[in-house]
Structure 1
């Protein structure tokens, strides 16, 4: 069931989505740590990269792919790379201020991209 006009997403926006999603969540966790004055560090883990990979898989259906081969290779390969990156970076931790410093620009860029994609004009013919 479709609730609106199908708006194809650009490949560049789709490629940036998991990175921006991960950095935004990292920033929000860092903000929580700073507000609570917690001494824990923010970890890069599969629990952070897994949802980013899931969002990437879900959005792959809205990308305007040039060929079917690109859809299969990138549409399934890139989310797998994102998830594997989470497994490999599982032991990396950041302090809350560093996580917040990474998250604020990412959240801003993610909001700009979402607004730009929403207001994009699609030619009829």
Structure 2
């Protein structure tokens, strides 16, 4: 049986989730392009932005919203705006080295945070 000690997310951290996810994915794409010498630029893909918005939508239920209207109106308007901006900048190409330098540390930070959170949950949960 899996037990999870639910800890609410701060709204500021949640606002960064789509951008952190997108940066991590673009960092992986950039490093793959550099390692294989297949490409030198990485396009800002609307698909990656959409996946980042989906992750933010999935995690929005655990956010500590200060008002009830924020849960409905602010979160969906924010996610729609981020998705619209992602579609608008979808053709912009960024050098693979830049995406690697920015994205790989973000990815490592996210993995570290997941491992620390998982360890804290394991210690605080009364699971067998």
Query: TM-score band (shorter)?
Result: 0.7 to 0.9
Q: In structure 2, do the counterparts of structure 1 residues 13 and 111 end up closer, same or farther at CA, with 3 Å as the change threshold?
A: farther
**What RMSD, in angstroms, separates the aligned Cα atoms of the two structures?**
2.3
- What is the distance in 2 between the residues matched to 1:16 and 1:117? 18
**Correspondence list, 1:101-112, <5 A:** 101-112=101-112
The Cα of 1:73 is off from its aligned counterpart by 2.1
Q: Deviations over 1:59-114 (max 9, x none)?
A: 11011111111111222111111211111101100121111012023223434544
TM-score, normalization by structure 2: 0.81
Corresponding residue for residue 52 of structure 2:
52
Q: Deviations over 1:14-37 (max 9, x none)?
A: 111111111010000001001111
Unaligned runs of 5+ in 1: none
- What is the distance in 2 between the residues matched to 1:14 and 1:113? 14
Unaligned runs of 5+ in 2: none
- What is the distance in 2 between the residues matched to 1:15 and 1:78? 8
Instruction: Give the number of aligned pairs.
Output: 121
